[in-house]
Amino acid sequence: MRHASASDLEFIAESFVKIPRFMQSGETDAYIAALPTQVDDSIRELASRYICDDDRIALVVESEGQLIACLLGEIRQPSLTAANLGDVGFISICWVEPQFRNSGCAAKLVSEAEEWFCSRGIELLEVSYMAKNETAANVWQQLGFEPFRVLAYKSLAGD
C-alpha cells in the first residue's frame, strides 16, 4: 500500500465509475442512475483533487504490479453540520477489485487512512453507503463504523 501519485490517476478515476456500475447491477435509485458510467475529464479532475490536496488522502494497493484497490478520503465538516464537532474525516471511496475482496485490503486501507486522519487531529471518521447494500453495511460495521443517520429521498418528477 502507498499514497497515490499522478501515475495512478486513471485507476482512481476508473474506480469512481466502477462503483456506480457495480451498484447498478443491483437495485437502482435516482442517485445511482445519475452517476457517471464512463471516465471523462470531470471525473479525472475530481480524482486528481485527492492526489494533490493536503486535506485529502488517496491510497492505492498493488498486487503483482497491478493496482487492485484504492481509498479516497478528505477532511470536511460533519454530516450533521449543526453538531459542534469541528472537522471530521470522510471516506469518499473505498474500492477493491472484486477478485481481491475478502483479502483484508479494505481493512488495511481504512487503517492507514485512520492513522492519516489522526495525525491531522481528526477524532471522528464518517463513511456513507447505500442503505440496501448489505455487503457494504457488514464491511463498514466490521471495521468499527456505526450507522447513525438515514438519508432518504422522494422523487417529485411525474412517472
Q: Is the pLDDT of residue 159 over 70?
A: no
- Percentage of the chain exceeding pLDDT 90: 65
Q: In the prediction, which pLDDT does 80 show?
A: 83
Arch. (CATH architecture) of 2-140 = 3-Layer(aba) Sandwich (3.40)
Q: Is the pLDDT of residue 126 over 70?
A: yes
Task: Give residue 54's identity as a one-letter amino acid code.
Answer: D
Residue 16 or residue 23, greater confidence: 16
Instruction: Tell how strand 2-3 and strand 66-76 pair up.
Output: unpaired
* Through-space distance between the first and last CA atoms of the chain, rounded to whole angstroms: 47
